[in-house]
Chain A
């Protein structure tokens, strides 16, 4: 390597990523951001200072060795970069696309103190996409043990936990209620942000670790968590069923035709391919004038999907201001570019229907920001006399979700007061051997946080089963990272595991 880089010697500007123009992309479901080309990735990789304290690694919920993989890119060793990433993250193509990097790795990047931070997410995606194109897959040497692990839910939390348990040698079965695995990556996040084929390829790689996916299986109803531990012979179970159960506001008119949750709208469109109706059978009935309530990432997805299936006008109705909106800045920016009309500081009070029980208009009131509430955000208060109406023929609620009640109804799992599954710091639930993580524990959060929870639960499960955790046992005492393969220390091979009774 040449002499030490400094903030003055690296390329000053962050390498731009090619994008579809707003006019073109709003008519299709192709990806908005087209990804780095080889020369873009090589240029951007030069911007990493390889700094000593590596804040980016701590900023990543799964602790990817970020300077490590970027250095491999710089040295044009792309397969090596893929190996480094997949030591800790099996879904680089997914995470590189959907993580809110500005709040995670990139948010704490040293370069970002002076210049724009290194585009870590884009580089990760570049490596992941190259691996897909080249057909790379890391199938580690796996020493089988006698343990069976069941995973409930095939979303990001379940996938991450499944991967870690499979690498530890367990026989892993993932149960999914839908007819296809992937969870929110498939039904929720639209193809223009994360193509479903990318998710399918990443899942296919997990099956190469020996993980079995059983779809059409509704745990809690077809069999219970207790049955999994009992007659079905699982030694440990992880629950990653997501949050689901969308919230509505309880205002008049919510049962009118054309009023639906973002989850329903996105599922019909993305997973069921209602956008290709009647080639696919699920009807969509898109609106011409659509109002989406909420300003999180789900709301942005719902709005941008609406535009792509033919809406002429899409409103974002949010009771706070742009500064408080929970969506990623990039998503809001993309939605603005595509023509979404943002109505900040606005709250719906009633939905008005026509003679056929379909929604025809929304009545709202304007809000002002008052004193900070318990969450520290300024509480919106209605401005007296500010009520107004506008016409719309579809209303989508994207104001969050509640805990899904099925597992609470059908198992002895202890729930917290909001109905989510209660866990300890290691994500163990009230039933011995049962762990839980992701949205069903924390409420709606991000893909990478769910993956982080899946991995954390896997550590807890390994401890419960008496399996050595290679990450915590060897990661730090191994002098040379090259002595590790796929996250497993080479010395781990042939290690005889003891199950503590």
Chain B
């Protein structure tokens, strides 16, 4: 069956039921990946890691939104409780619809998850009646109404599914949630019926719950996921209608706002917004995030704010040794720049990580060693001779071999068994390196992130990027940071050192233990100095007195110079000595970049071009390149040309494009064809009677490139000036 037809644009294909055998994910992985021998293991490793990343990010995201959700829940509880009171202010309030405006930031793709967990939480703890609507499904008031009713009644059905007494009522209400009765009145009746039932059915439960009255009349929550996209008229009408029913139906709105709270004022006139009692909820501020990342031991939250609008989004970077899979500096840079300069979307960031993970395990046969230490050692013993060859060709391994003595070199390159042993040792070293790298990184970050002007960046990820690129201590910025640190006062320095010590706390490696102990000692020394001490008497006898004596001019100059010298080389106070000692120590524990490690290729994914091509493609560039230099794609010698020009043997479409570029804004079709014919006849020497060109003009797919006068332009016909 072919997919081209003049009467149909859609073709459905169904496999015959008999020979149905679908390939699994793993088969697809194995097909066409490099080094298929151990692909099974690699696939399993890849899946495990991805599952782990997914789970961790979900937990993290939940944690991050916990706070705002909690305050929102408080708000709903408060609102439903004020309704019951009878004093004057709450009566006033009761005629308004309580509304929570949630400012979530511009990363709209991520909001779905937030709203889902929000509605789940609301259903669990506040009210079973929660409906969320999206702008694109409610173009008109009627549709909005219908959706709200459908969702509400459906929600209730799912929540109280186990309640057998409700069975009948449920059936009557769900059989025809009909568009005929699609009105708030119907909802009111249904609601009162529901609440009566539940209060009759479970009186014991009601009394035992803390907010007894609140439970009896749970609010009906309607979530507008994307307020900006709603049509203002629909929204206004809906609010007006709802406000009429507020006596009978305890309604509550939640607005999801991507830009700023002033949207509400833009969308709703005063007469409508006065019907709402709006409370604003901002998503987390960056300081809260910082606090969070301090508390969280192993996963650092890298936070980024678009400072101008005060909006906040966040990404998670896995700066921990628990994950064997790592990204190198360039890939990380690509992902971060896509995040910062394009979409602000956490989800896309995670997608990028997923892609990198997949690509790494798919294309690098040695990635079989990219796993936890024990497993990696086990896998190392099972390496085939092909894999061992691959190890020998790794640049980092070559560097390692060059440093060995000649005999050792010989056996590394010849003896497979020996290589396996060395390989295990190297893997252990790599593991140890990672264990040390991250704590020291954090330590350094703690120190440098408080230095003015942030020479090494404000965030851990910036420092991480710098550290990954080259030896950090060779960096100019690093030296500057150290200079600035040397000017710190004592209590500031102590606070910073305390932070450092904390970041080293949880690490279980020998070197770090030593480092920790050393740091503690130093801290203790600082504390000792805290005790009031007598200012140390300067033992140096002042040479000023000598000046009194009568001397010649030469002598005087000499003494003055000496004085100057001695003043400059002032003796350091014990504090200053100690400070230098500490910084020297920090200097010493800082790690070299991962790329200096042998076998780092196993863990690090380094093809930033692939990631960029697949995530942030540039189709226009590709088309441009294909049209202007076809040799790049079609490897034919006759297409090779000197810069910029197109050979006359190029494919027709390239010549047509080149001629089109040479013209100005408006192109005369006749001239174009003539020019084309000239080019082609000069190339072929054959006759060109203007037929070949027809092909080209007709094939031209990019209407945007074709100047407007060639298209069927009605404006021109009417003689309207353009």
Verify that A and B bind, or say they do not: no
Residues of A within 8 A of B (CB): none
**Interface of B with A (CB < 8 Å)?**
none
